[in-house]
Amino acid sequence: MRKWKMALAILVVAALVFTMVGCAKPAGKNWVVGFSQIGSESEWRTADTISVQNAFNEDPSFTLIYSDAQQKQENQIKAVRSFIARKVNVILFTALVETGYGPVLQEAKQAGIPVVMIDRDVQEADRGLRLTIMGSDFVKEGEKAAAWLGDYLKKIGKDDGKKAINIVELQGTTGSAPAIDRKTGFANGMKDHPNWKITRSQTGNFTTAEGKAVMEAFLKADKKIDVLYAHNDGMALGAIQAIKEAGLKPGKDIIVIGVDGVKGAFQAIVAGEQNVTVECSPLLGPQAVQAIRDLRDGKKLPGRIWTIESIFDASNAAAALPTRQY
Amino acid sequence: MAILKSLSRAKIFWPIVALAVLMCFNLFFTPNFFRVEIKEGHLYGNVIDIIKNASPIMLLAVGLTLVIATKGIDISVGSIVAISAGVVAMLIGGDLQGVPKYPIPYAMGAAVLVSVLAGMWNGMLVSRIGMQPIIATLILSVAGRGIAMVTTNAMIVWLYAKPFALLGQGYFLGLPFSIYIVAALVLLTALVTRRTALGLFIEAVGINPTAARFAGINAKNILFGVYAFSGLCAGISGLVVCSTVMSADGNNAGLGYELSAILAVVLGGTSLNGGKFYLLGSLVGALIVQTLTTTIYAFGVPPEIAKVVIAMVVLVVSLLQSFKFRAMVAGFFGKREFSV
């Protein structure tokens, strides 16, 4: 028994020493970066985490301390406090919810540690406490989808500006920012096309299963659907199966538009079943590393850093497919 | 009148009334709701969709009916669905040409086996450790989703192996294949519980486990058995769920299904207080739940208020089932004599 206790004590001391070594701030240009992620609730989030981890691990002048909050705000606040105590150089932070981070951000500010938000922002009142936010512009994604549809309809000669174009919409989770903004963005794009009409709009909760079930009902209620606009690829892929079961050809009889750019969507585009996906990239790592490098070099960061994103249809999907990571 | 009276005494009467009312609403207010066509050699229409999409909940409800009959509850079935879907998807593999990594029957067998083990874990906690069922199954409900995520590496796994699609998307004699799975499971369960004394034993354990034990029933084994069976049902349900969308999503597969299935069982007339159980009632309950969802999609209820509408309908259906409430309404209209 005694021996065990002794061994345990040695282990604890060793662990402490190692932690302290880890804590010591590297001299000169070496920076320690704390990253508080909200969890791994979707594969988008997983890809996001891996991208940030890989990008920082590739550069030896950075040390990344990663903390997974497992969908709990208190874990996140604890993590940020521990980053402050360890005197990291910069904190990367994805806010689980918008409110409640004021005090801890204030503490970071007092400690002189800049905070860079990733993907999800804090509420308006607290935005003065963080340095910048990097992420996707969901409204722009909706606008891009509408613009692509305009060009495509013109190209295939289906839209004469008068004949009604019937669009059905599969919304994301009701009340979530991407669902609200992608709907708004698409509606903005529709303003130039008075003959476009959203005939049905229902939530598919961003899931394949619900996307399919909703589309099944749409197909039975309306005989004439020209376009499907889904707020994410998962729902679009479910809807494609429903369209096939209805004896129609997805991509031809009904134009299918998705958002996100997941691998499954690329495969569907190559197979001719989906027409387009507007990328919403979780691969923020390289851009984050670049931003932190700029910060280290004393450059000023813009108040909002948009993710570099493109749009993929039959013309470029096949070429991009092998390089897709999520 | 006398016929109606004796009819309304049957437990299945009120769930069927509720389903009929929902259907009537659609008959009048949702255009083309009942139109059934033949497409690609099978029946095609909203009603067929309801049967098809209710299958996973029906499968869960069969297992849950027996669990609830013992005065227990199993809230882990949604997570077991995700585990089963994850296991079968990983074993079949995401090969684009549709070549399965392991033969499809083996993959399915493994997924169901894992689910039964999960059910046995619940059964052990409840029957041997004596844990409260809601807590015992809460553990797996939370941990199960984690297990599903680890199984699928937190990614959505897409399947391209055509034969596997039969389970959730295929048709046999014009009807969705999944409904035959439900029928087979219900027939077997009814046979085993009603043609033997097992059903009686289960009800006895639910009404009074101590008395059941003194009567010579091995209550512990009965409890263990129903949870294991619930795991089996959830495993089969997971296969159907995975096949329906040909993908396994650890985060979302079966999410919230446990609540729908519990609702189905309760709407079907089985009391959460244990005792008598009604397998057919649970199936009708599942049909009510799915009809409601399909109605919301077909009628075009805006998503912002859809949940409220569902809650209202569930409230009305539950009130319809309540003898006290019906007696109250009857009393209000001055009709003293009212059928039970």
A206 lies in the same domain as A259: yes
Q: Which amino acid is at B62?
A: V
Q: Do A221 and B30 touch (CB under 8 A)?
A: yes
Give the domain range for residue A57: 28-136+282-308
Q: Positive or negative CA dihedral for B232, B233, B234, B237?
A: positive
A151 lies in the same domain as A275: yes
> Does B218 contact chain A (CB < 8 Å)?
no
| Residue B248 · residue B156 · CB < 8 Å | yes
> Does A274 contact chain B (CB < 8 Å)?
no
- The residue of chain A nearest to residue B56, with distances taken between CA atoms, is A209
Hey, how many other C-beta atoms are within 10 angstroms of the C-beta on A60?
7
| Shortest alpha-carbon distance between residue B46 and chain A (Å) | 7
| Shortest alpha-carbon distance between residue A277 and chain B (Å) | 17
- The residue of chain B nearest to residue A325, with distances taken between CA atoms, is B155
A286 lies in the same domain as A276: no
Residues of chain B with C-beta less than 8 angstroms from the C-beta of A221? 30-32, 298, 300
What phi and psi, each to the nearest 5 degrees, are found at residue A6? Answer: -60, -50
Domain for residue A35, yes or no?
yes
Q: Do B49 and A202 touch (CB under 8 A)?
A: no
| Shortest alpha-carbon distance between residue B70 and chain A (Å) | 32
| Chain centroid offset of residue A130 CA | 20
Looking at this predicted complex, what is its ipTM? 0.87
CB pairs A-B closer than 8 Å:
94
Of A41, A46, A245, the CB nearest to B155: A46
Residues of chain A with C-beta less than 8 angstroms from the C-beta of B149? 40
| Residue B240 · residue B55 · CB < 8 Å | yes
| Confidence band, pLDDT 50/70/90 cuts, at residue A322 | confident
Count of structural domains, chain A: 2
Per-residue pLDDT at A316 exceeds 50 = yes
Count of structural domains, chain B: 1
3-state secondary structure of A286: helix
- CA proximity to B165, closest of A288, A317, A28, A244: A244
CA–CA dist A312, B2 (Å, integer): 68
Residues of chain B with C-beta less than 8 angstroms from the C-beta of A38? none
Of chain B, the percentage scoring pLDDT greater than 90 comes to: 71
CA–CA dist B5, B113 (Å, integer): 46
**pLDDT 10s digits, A115-129:** 999 988 888 889 899
Q: Do A246 and B294 touch (CB under 8 A)?
A: no
- The residue of chain A nearest to residue B42, with distances taken between CA atoms, is A245
What phi and psi, each to the nearest 5 degrees, are found at residue B138? Answer: -60, -35
Kindly report the three-state secondary structure assignment for every residue of A192-257: CCCCEEEEEEEECCCCHHHHHHHHHHHHHHCCCCCEEEECCHHHHHHHHHHHHHCCCCECCCEEEE
Domain for residue A315, yes or no?
no
| Shortest alpha-carbon distance between residue B12 and chain A (Å) | 28
Of A43, A209, A214, the CB nearest to B154: A43
| Residue A83 · residue A59 · CB < 8 Å | no
CA–CA dist B214, B202 (Å, integer): 14
Q: Positive or negative CA dihedral for B179, B182, B188, B192?
A: negative
What phi and psi, each to the nearest 5 degrees, are found at residue A20? Answer: -65, -40
- With a CB cutoff of 8 Å and minimum separation 6, the contacts of A164 are A195, A196, A197
Looking at per-residue pLDDT, the higher value among A73 and B241 belongs to: B241
CA–CA dist A170, A224 (Å, integer): 16
Q: Which amino acid is at A40?
A: S
Q: Which amino acid is at A93?
A: F
Of A200, A212, A220, the CB nearest to B245: A212
Q: Do A218 and B297 touch (CB under 8 A)?
A: yes
| Shortest alpha-carbon distance between residue B298 and chain A (Å) | 5
Domain for residue A245, yes or no?
yes
3-state secondary structure of A65: strand
Residues of chain A with C-beta less than 8 angstroms from the C-beta of B253? 209
* The predicted structure's pLDDT at residue B1: 60
A271 lies in the same domain as A161: yes
| Confidence band, pLDDT 50/70/90 cuts, at residue B244 | very high
Residues of chain B with C-beta less than 8 angstroms from the C-beta of A174? 303-304
Domain for residue A324, yes or no?
no
> Does B30 contact chain A (CB < 8 Å)?
yes
| Shortest alpha-carbon distance between residue B115 and chain A (Å) | 21
- CA angle, B100 then B113 then B50, to 5°: 75
A186 lies in the same domain as A286: no
Return the C-alpha torsion angle B172, B176, B181, B187, nearest 10. -90
> Does B154 contact chain A (CB < 8 Å)?
yes
CA–CA dist A167, B183 (Å, integer): 38
Domain for residue A220, yes or no?
yes
Of A41, A208, A213, the CB nearest to B297: A213
Hey, how many other C-beta atoms are within 10 angstroms of the C-beta on B224?
20
Least reliable range by pLDDT among A102-106, A147-151, A172-176: A172-176
A211 lies in the same domain as A287: no
| Residue B39 · residue A246 · CB < 8 Å | yes
* The predicted structure's pLDDT at residue A12: 64
Tokens matching residue A133: 């936010």
Per-residue pLDDT at A201 exceeds 50 = yes
Of chain A, the percentage scoring pLDDT greater than 90 comes to: 65
- CA proximity to A205, closest of B297, B86, B141, B148: B297
Give the domain range for residue B226: 2-332
| Shortest alpha-carbon distance between residue B265 and chain A (Å) | 22
CA–CA dist B251, B155 (Å, integer): 9
Q: Do A209 and B253 touch (CB under 8 A)?
A: yes
What phi and psi, each to the nearest 5 degrees, are found at residue A177? Answer: -60, -50
A156 lies in the same domain as A92: no
- CA proximity to A259, closest of A113, A132, A149: A149
**pLDDT 10s digits, A24-50:** 444 457 899 999 998 877 778 888 999
- CA proximity to A217, closest of B30, B259, B180, B22: B30
Mean pLDDT for B145-165 is: 90
| Shortest alpha-carbon distance between residue B22 and chain A (Å) | 16
A159 lies in the same domain as A287: no
Per-residue pLDDT at A23 exceeds 60 = no
Residues of chain A with C-beta less than 8 angstroms from the C-beta of B296? 202
Per-residue pLDDT at B340 exceeds 50 = no
A191 lies in the same domain as A151: yes
* The predicted structure's pLDDT at residue A26: 43
Domain for residue B21, yes or no?
yes
Domain for residue B64, yes or no?
yes
A130 lies in the same domain as A145: no
Look-up of token digits 């880890």: A22
Domain for residue A317, yes or no?
no
In total, chain A counts a number of residues equal to 326
Q: Do A203 and B246 touch (CB under 8 A)?
A: no
A115 lies in the same domain as A236: no
Domain for residue A23, yes or no?
no
Cβ-based burial of A50 (10 A; exposed 0-12, middle 13-18, buried ≥19): middle
Q: Do B244 and A209 touch (CB under 8 A)?
A: yes
Residues of chain B with C-beta less than 8 angstroms from the C-beta of A46? 154-155
Residues of chain B with C-beta less than 8 angstroms from the C-beta of A43? 154-156, 251
Q: Do B40 and A40 touch (CB under 8 A)?
A: no
Residue A232: HSE in the Cβ half-sphere, 13 Å Cα cutoff: 25
| Residue B243 · residue B167 · CB < 8 Å | yes
Tokens matching residue A52: 């940030």
CA–CA dist A298, A300 (Å, integer): 7
Least reliable range by pLDDT among A105-109, A231-235, B299-303: B299-303
Domain for residue A325, yes or no?
no
| Residue B181 · residue B233 · CB < 8 Å | no
Cβ-based burial of B149 (10 A; exposed 0-12, middle 13-18, buried ≥19): buried
**pLDDT 10s digits, B302-311:** 888 888 998 9
Dump the DSSP string for A96-131: SSSSS-HHHHHHHHHTT--EEEESSPPPGGGGGGSS
β-pair partners for A68: A37
Q: Which amino acid is at B193?
A: T
* The predicted structure's pLDDT at residue A2: 62
The domain that holds A200 is classified in CATH as 3.40.50.2300
> Does A212 contact chain B (CB < 8 Å)?
yes
Q: What is the mean pLDDT of chain B?
A: 91
Residue B250: HSE in the Cβ half-sphere, 13 Å Cα cutoff: 26
* The predicted structure's pLDDT at residue A72: 85
Looking at per-residue pLDDT, the higher value among A15 and A59 belongs to: A59
- With a CB cutoff of 8 Å and minimum separation 6, the contacts of B234 are B59, B60, B63, B76, B77, B80, B81, B84, B115, B118, B119, B254
A261 lies in the same domain as A300: no
